C-alpha cells in the first residue's frame, strides 16, 4: 500500500510498504481521512525522537475493511474514528478510565504505525463509531483538534458558567477551545495570537475580544487591562513565554491549563504571590474515548459548528509538501487519492 513514511529529520516520503494485517482483537481500516496536527510536523522535523520508518498520523477516520480474530461488535463497512493511542489497559489510570494518562501508551504515528496511509490496523479499544451525518475529515480531527480542548476546558479546567476564559494560541486547538468555552457557558472569551488571520478567525467563531501579544513590551500587563483577571486560561502553544503570559493574567483562584507540548521551562511567579493568590497550573493531555463520543454528539446535533475546521483536503500522493508549507488556524486533512481534494 501507499504511505507517508518518516525517514529522518526533515524527511518524509511517499513509499510502498507492506499492507498491515489485523491481529487478534484488531480491525483493518481503510483510511478515509487523517488530520495533520502540529505534532506531526514536529515528528517530521525530527524533534520528538520518532524512529525512521514510522508512518505518522494520529487523527484518523475510516471504514472497517476486515476484522481479526476475536473481534465482536464491529464489522466490515462500519465507519469509525480513532482514539490516538493504544493504551495498556492495566495501569492505574487505565483502570480508572483515564486512558489518556496511560503509563505505557503506544501513540499512533509515533510508537505504532499511524494513519498517513491507505490502511491501518488498530485494536478495537481505539474505535469510536462515526455518525453518518459527520464527514470523514471532521471525524478525523474530532479525535484531537476538538476533543483535546474539550477535555482541557471541562475535565481539567472545570469551566464554570459565567467565567472569563483566555485562550492562548488560536490555531487548530485554540479556535475550537473558543467555541467550546462559549458552549460551556463562559461569559467572556478572549483569544491571544500574534497572527492577524488567527485573531480574525477567533472573532469569527465567537471570541469577545482578541489580543496581539507581539506588539506589547509587557504583554501580561496589557492583557490584564483587557480581561481584568481570568478565571481560566488555556494555553495551546507550548512555549515558556506563553505559559508565563497565562500565569500573569490569572485572577486570584484562577487556573492555568497547559495543553501545548514543548520543551521550555516556564517560571512560576514569586511564591508569595503564587501561593497567596491560590493559583493553579494544570497539565492536560488529549482526551478519553468517551469525550470524543461527546464531541461527536455535539457536532451531529448541530450544537457545535465545525464548518470552519478544515482548511483543505490533500490527496495522499500529493501530501509530502504539506509538512514544509505554512499552515493556518484550520486543519489540513490527508485523504485517499480516490477522493476529490480541495
The model's pLDDT over 302-322, given as tens digits with 9 standing for 90+, comes to: 999 998 899 899 999 999 999
Confidence band of 326 (pLDDT split at 50, 70, 90): confident
pTM for the predicted model, two decimal places:
0.91
The predicted model gives 284-290 an average pLDDT of 93
pLDDT of residue 340: 53
For residues 145 and 220, the model is more confident at 145
The predicted model gives 104-119 an average pLDDT of 95
pLDDT for 341 beyond 60: no
Spatial separation of the C-alpha atoms in residues 79 and 87, rounded to whole Å: 21
Spatial separation of the C-alpha atoms in residues 111 and 108, rounded to whole Å: 6
The predicted model gives 278-300 an average pLDDT of 94
Mean pLDDT in the chain? 93
pLDDT of residue 2: 97
pLDDT of residue 228: 85
Percent of the chain with pLDDT strictly greater than 70: 99
pLDDT for 339 beyond 90: no
- φ, ψ of residue 159 to 5 degrees: the values are -60, 130
pLDDT for 342 beyond 50: no
| CA of residue 319 relative to chain centroid, distance | 20
Percent of the chain with pLDDT strictly greater than 90: 80
The terminus-to-terminus CA distance of the chain in angstroms comes to 23
Q: Can you read off the three cell numbers belonging to residue 116?
A: 498517513
| CA of residue 185 relative to chain centroid, distance | 22
Indicate left, alpha or beta for 293 from its phi (over 0: left) and psi (-120 to 50: alpha): alpha
CA distances from 167 to 1, 210, 259, 276, 298 (A): 41, 9, 11, 24, 21
For 56-89, write each residue's pLDDT tens digit.
999 999 999 999 999 999 999 999 999 999 999 9
pLDDT of residue 220: 85
pLDDT of residue 312: 92
Spatial separation of the C-alpha atoms in residues 316 and 3, rounded to whole Å: 8
pLDDT of residue 216: 80
Q: What would the 3-class secondary structure string for 190-210 be? A: EEECCCHHHHHHHHHCCCCEE
Spatial separation of the C-alpha atoms in residues 181 and 110, rounded to whole Å: 30
Residue 215, judged by CB atoms within 10 A of its CB (0-12, 13-18, 19+), counts as exposed
Q: Which domains does the chain have, with CATH numbers?
A: 2-145+288-335 (3.90.180.10), 158-283 (3.40.50.720)
DSSP 340: P
The predicted model gives 153-179 an average pLDDT of 95
Lowest mean pLDDT among 104-113, 145-154, 161-170, 211-220: 211-220
What residues have CB less than 8 Å from 330, skipping those under 6 apart? Answer: 172, 175, 201, 308, 309, 310, 311
β-strands 250-258, 85-86: how paired? Answer: unpaired
Which of 194, 190, 180, 260 minimizes the C-alpha distance to 223?
A: 190
Amino acid at each position: 500500500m501507499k504511505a507517508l513514511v518518516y525517514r529522518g529529520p526533515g524527511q518524509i516520503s511517499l513509499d510502498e510498504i507492506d499492507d498491515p494485517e489485523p491481529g487478534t482483537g484488531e480491525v483493518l481500516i481503510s483510511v478515509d481521512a487523517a488530520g495533520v496536527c502540529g505534532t506531526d510536523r514536529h515528528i517530521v522535523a525530527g524533534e520528538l525522537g520518532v524512529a525512521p520508518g514510522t508512518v505518522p498520523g494520529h487523527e484518523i477516520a475510516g471504514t472497517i475493511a476486515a476484522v481479526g480474530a476475536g473481534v465482536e461488535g464491529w464489522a466490515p463497512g462500519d465507519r469509525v474514528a480513532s482514539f490516538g493511542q493504544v493504551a495498556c489497559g492495566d495501569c492505574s489510570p487505565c483502570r480508572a478510565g483515564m486512558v489518556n494518562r496511560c503509563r505505557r501508551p503506544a501513540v499512533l504515528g509515533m510508537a505504532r504505525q499511524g494513519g498517513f496511509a491507505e490502511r491501518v490496523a488498530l485494536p478495537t479499544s481505539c474505535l469510536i463509531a462515526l455518525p453518518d451525518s459527520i464527514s470523514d475529515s471532521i471525524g478525523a480531527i474530532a479525535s484531537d483538534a476538538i476533543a483535546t480542548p474539550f477535555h482541557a476546558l471541562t475535565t481539567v479546567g472545570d469551566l464554570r458558567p459565567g467565567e472569563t476564559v483566555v485562550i492562548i494560541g488560536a490555531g487548530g486547538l485554540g479556535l475550537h477551545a473558543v467555541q467550546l468555552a462559549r458552549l460551556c457557558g463562559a461569559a467572556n472569551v478572549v483569544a491571544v495570537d500574534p497572527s492577524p488571520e488567527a485573531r480574525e478567525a477567533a472573532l469569527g467563531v465567537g471570541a469577545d475580544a482578541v489580543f496581539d501579544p507581539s506588539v506589547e513590551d509587557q504583554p501580561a500587563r496589557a492583557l490584564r487591562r483587557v480581561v481584568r483577571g481570568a478565571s481560566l486560561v488555556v494555553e495551546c502553544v507550548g512555549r515558556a513565554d506563553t505559559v508565563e503570559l497565562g500565569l500573569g493574567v490569572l485572577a486570584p483562584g484562577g487556573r492555568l491549563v497547559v495543553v501545548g507540548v514543548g520543551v521550555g521551562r516556564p517560571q512560576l511567579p514569586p511564591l508569595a504571590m503564587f501561593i497567596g493568590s491560590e493559583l493553579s497550573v494544570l497539565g492536560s493531555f488529549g482526551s478519553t474515548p468517551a469525550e470524543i463520543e461527546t464531541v461527536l454528539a455535539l457536532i451531529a446535533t448541530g450544537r457545535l459548528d465545525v464548518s470552519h475546521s478544515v482548511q483543505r483536503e490533500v490527496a495522499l500522493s500529493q501530501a509530502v509538501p504539506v509538512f514544509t508549507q505554512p499552515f493556518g488556524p484550520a486543519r489540513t486533512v490527508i485523504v485517499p487519492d480516490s477522493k476529490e481534494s480541495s
